[in-house]
A = this chain, B = another copy of it.
């Protein structure tokens, strides 16, 4: 039986989570939905986000037959996981808890830094998830990183300088708070495309946690009956991975930028209408 996995994001950044899932769980049938008509979720109220996310989850489960849902959207994971779980009967996994769990496993001293979008930081979802695990945490919004990635300036000197400035500010804030963080969580689905640059910009010994990768690891653990190779292992060939991408608007931008996030062609993105 080929498992059917639904992956949901407000935009297409969550394709980095899908990419990590495909490496961990090849041979599954994936449906990815980007609710691009209604992004950004970050500036909307909890009630509105819950309504949008529940509609999207129902599409993936009821119309695409997903047996398992991954919410590859930090805002929806932070504010609407309960509403999504109520809307569908399949297991639902968000990106926040796996990221915090990976930070706990990685950190020796329990002092953790998180970089994310403004909306994710304002939700303090990572902070809450880290605090309940007994860690000290400092979050920083890095609003320029998403537009730099979308402009294609990964590896660009300007992006290098922006990362350097943000991390320097974060280190100063951490020092002022008496923290000596040994772990940095990438709390945004766009940031895996900057992972190498960020790893070069952190102090030696600081571990960088990619929440997309952590989420894929957590998903693989939820399929104990299936093999889940590590990245780099030869892919299973018996059952080819199937990927269908859906979006509610801006299909052209999704197709143009998505392949860089997914690490392979996204193919034709299907436009769907979830209503107002």
Which residues of chain A have a CB within 8 Å of any CB of chain B?
36-37, 39, 43-45, 143-144, 146-148, 150-151, 153, 158, 161-162, 165, 249-250, 253, 276
For residue A187, give the distance in angstroms from its CB to the closest CB of chain B. Answer: 18
Q: Is the interface of A mostly helix, strand, loop or mixed?
A: loop
A43 and B249 contact, CB distance less than 8 A: yes
Q: How far is the CA of A250 from the CA of B36 in the complex (A)?
A: 19
- The interface residues of chain B lying within 8 Å CB-to-CB of A250 are 43
Q: Which residue of B lies closest to A118 (CB)?
A: B253
B158 and A148 contact, CB distance less than 8 A: no
Q: A44-B249, A249-B45 are in contact. Are A151 and B158 (CB under 8 A)?
A: no
Q: Which residue of B lies closest to A157 (CB)?
A: B161
A-B contact pairs, 14 of them (CB 8 A): A36-B43, A37-B44, A39-B43, A43-B249, A43-B250, A44-B249, A143-B147, A144-B144, A144-B153, A146-B147, A147-B147, A158-B161, A158-B162, A158-B165
